[in-house]
Amino acid sequence: NRGLRPLADVAGVLAARTGASLDSVVINNAAQEVIPFVSALNDLLDRLRREVTKQKHFVSDAAHELRTPLAALQLQLELIEAADSIAERNATLAQLRRGIERLTHLTQQLLMMARLDPEDGERTTQVLDLSDIAVGVMGELWPLAKAKNIDLGSVEHGRMLVQGDPERLRVLLTNIVDNAIKYTPSGGKVDINLR
């Protein structure tokens, strides 16, 4: 009993914790033989705490990414209900279909990101036209701008070739334009100007 008492002390400290407690284990006057065990346990808890934090950030980012396209889909449904003609309804249905396809693609991207480990290495980049991404973002966010009576447009420019990750650039530009729409008063104007 005397020889195993240091391990019993560690077990007692762990048993008194809740499942959410990932703080380091502190054993006052720990026996010399138990210190390497407690140190390894604290290292494991630290790694687990970082993983839990990473998961929380991912869930928060995913919720933010899904909020905008879902709001756009809701607005497109309202536009379909308010359509005066079959042609107008069909045009809005086509936009709704594209929005659902984008949302499906985004969901697949989020699932893929959930499986990726940032320590696996850098993502590959490619030469791409940033103007094309801007046009796609404008199409995605147009219903939100229309609902707030905001003139959403783009400053005319030619091809804008950059080296980058197309999906990350799309997410970045979507967040910027979405925030611009959100914080621009009704009746305002939002222009995308690439340089």
Please name the amino acid found at residue 53: T
Please name the amino acid found at residue 143: P
pLDDT in tens, 18-56: 877 888 888 777 778 888 888 888 888 888 888 888 888
Burial 98-124 (b: 16+ CB within 10 A, else e): ebeebbeebeebbeeeeeeeeeeeeee
Q: Is the pTM of this model over 0.85?
A: no
Q: Could you tell me if 25 and 13 are in contact, meaning their C-beta atoms sit under 8 angstroms apart?
A: yes
pLDDT(122) > 70: no
pLDDT(14) > 70: yes
Please name the amino acid found at residue 56: K
What mean pLDDT comes out for the span 151-158? 85
pLDDT in tens, 51-106: 888 888 877 877 777 887 888 888 888 888 888 899 988 888 888 888 887 787 67
